[in-house]
Structure 1
Amino acid sequence: MTGSSEMHVGLRYQPDAEQLALAGEMESALTELLPLARAHQGGSESADVWEQLAGLGILNAGVGEDRGGSGLGATEVALIAVTLGRQLASPALLATIATFGAALDLNETPRVAPAFGDGEMLWVNEPGANLLLVRSGGGAVLHAVPEVAQPVDEFTWGVRLMTGPLGPALRTLDARELQLLRLIDAAAMAGIAQAALDMAVDYAKLREQFGRPIGSFQAIKHHCATMAIAARGAADATSFAAVAFDSARADTAHRVESALLFASAAAIDNGGTNIQVHGGIGFSAEAEPHLLLKRAQLLAALAGGTEAMAERVAAAA
């Protein structure tokens, strides 16, 4: 029994107090810098936002100090990405944070636009992007930005999508870089799941029917409770995967893939339920609920889709 107890000494499953405190400080700054209402204007961030994020050390947060980065671990980066997801940070911003170290190998200060597609390649338009992150099968490759591109639509997905012939492949992400990319995806999805819950609860407290807040009705309570369970599960699965990544656990790949699948489902389901709680206004372009659902669906597509996620979970197990 003594040997068994000693074997488990030092195992951690969640972030420690210092990591949570750092994430809390970043959360305050990011919430002020990235108000949710700006997402109505487009899916890209302004040059000023990029500059301020660089000044905060967010863009290169996961890069070692010996390479000019902030030197944070995956756990801190994931906690920051949760806030970025909650504030609907540009998909290009998430891709840049995830691949900053890989791009440095190309002697680039990156601004990375994520791409996806089966046959026709689509990517998220990001002014100033100098790299594309293209995922196919089980991997991801950094490409040069195409010299010729054309818009696909105006704003259907809450971002502007482009298409065109890909530039040359420059660097393939290795297994650990790919895990970090998927961990950041999971964290952003967990943030969206929490944002949808918060938005639904706030509305349920304010909206009245029959002289009572709709949050007092059993059906709405059940919806919000289900959303709360999903959001908490996504957050815990993601933070556990991040700690596993930093601890180099043998089951890291399985933890990361599971967190991504769990968080994606939570974000999409909570996004849809949030619209239901809002009723008719939830479907209107002027309101914000539809932005959360669209972003969750877009991030899932950028990550290869939930079916591919489920296959990777099974393979990693």
Structure 2
Amino acid sequence: MNLAPSDFQDELAATARQWLAKELPIARSRALAADHGDLPDAETWSQCAGLGWLGLGLPEACGGLELGAAEEVMLFRELGRGLAPGPFLASVLGAHAAAAAGRADIAAAIADGSRRVALSLSGRVLDGRAGDLLLTLDENGGALDEIVEVAPITSVDPLTRASSLVRATPLLRIDDTLLLSRGHVLAAAQLLGIVEAVRDMSVAYAGSRTQFGRPIGSFQAVKHRCADMAVAAYAVVGQVNQAALYVDAQRPAAAFHAAAAYVVAARGAVRSATDNIQNHGGIGFTWEHDSHLYLKRATVLAAAFGPLRQAHRPLMAPSRQEFE
């Protein structure tokens, strides 16, 4: 099994990275959050849809590009690296749910950006507004409802809107165990992007910041933390790429590999983002520096499907795991 990205996949990732750096850098996301407007704004969301980001893996009949989870992973890796705000995860999963339920109209509306999908989490709503769709996932599949009313609450991540669900109207239900597995894979890809971003941030700072006449990267504690981040990224990248292929192929072991990717990525991202703050010393605790935002986003993604221990169930389910 070749897990190395193809030239096309590398180009897709590079294009997304460049676009996000130019059109939706973290500084602009901060400004949008401070203005209490939509995250991202309607024009930016429409542009993302126009790039095909919301329908990479959808059939052409649903407004998609008929690619696969491997290409979605390349995109979500960059979304994580750039801390892109917005309901990308829920919208892509919601579009897949609608397509699997035979609702090509809903899937196409999500893919073209005219409808957003929020993520339901234990009575909370992530990145949802009245009129948006609401995706609820479980081990057997998922459901799409239409949000009628929500009440805003404070989010741990300032670039993620949070609210309490007041009222919603049921729309459709899909029984597909691979839907949660796809969610695990895409969330793991975002978390991988976070690990890579904070690794690069720490290495750059450790090479330029001096203490006692030496770069702090020469100190054992700092260099070990940077090395741990590199190992964390290395551990995730192969697992998430393999899990994406298993999900696309609908292999029996897809749930196992997807959950493994998510658990390893979540632990690695939270630990790496925490160590990044340590490497930056006092700077990491200030509002102006971006390091705390990576930790907060990692924390949200690590709880996006409920307590992380729930993702251990597919790992403990088989008495013997065959690696194909």
On whether the aligned pair clears a TM of 0.5, the verdict is: yes
Aligned pair partner of 1:24 in 6, 14, 25: 14
Q: Tell me what 1:112 maps to.
A: 117
Q: Give RMSD over aligned pairs.
A: 2.2
Q: Tell me what 1:266 maps to.
A: 268
SS in 2 for 1:149: strand
Q: CA deviation at 1:126?
A: 4.1
**Aligned mates of 2:120, 2:29 — CA distance in 1:** 20
**1:46 to 2:41 alignment:** yes
Deviations 1:87-139 (A, max 9, x none): 1123512211222232351733231111212xxx1112345761112235664
Q: CA deviation at 1:48?
A: 1.8
Pairing 1:1-317 to 2, within 5 Å after superposition: 11-41=1-31, 42=33, 44-103=39-98, 105=103, 107-108=105-106, 109-110=109-110, 111-117=116-122, 121-126=123-128, 130-136=132-138, 139-145=141-147, 147-153=148-154, 155-158=155-158, 159-173=160-174, 174-315=176-317, 317=321
Deviations 1:177-236 (A, max 9, x none): 332222111111111111111111122122221122211212111010001100121122
Which shows bigger deviation, 81-90 or 96-105? 96-105
Give the alignment's TM-score, normalised by structure 1.
0.87
Give the conservation status (yes or no) of the 8 Å contact 1:115–1:123: yes
SS in 2 for 1:182: helix
Q: Tell me what 1:4 maps to.
A: none
Give the alignment's TM-score, normalised by structure 2.
0.85
Change (3 A) 1:72 1:31: farther
**Aligned mates of 1:199, 1:17 — CA distance in 2:** 26
Unaligned runs of 5+ in 1: 1-10
SS in 1 for 2:163: strand
Higher relative contact order (CA 8 A, sep 6+): 1
Aligned pairs, number: 302
Which shows bigger deviation, 28-37 or 218-227? 28-37
Identical-pair percentage:
35
Change (3 A) 1:183 1:149: same
Give the conservation status (yes or no) of the 8 Å contact 1:91–1:124: no
Change (3 A) 1:170 1:88: same
Q: Tell me what 2:113 maps to.
A: none
Unaligned runs of 5+ in 2: 111-115
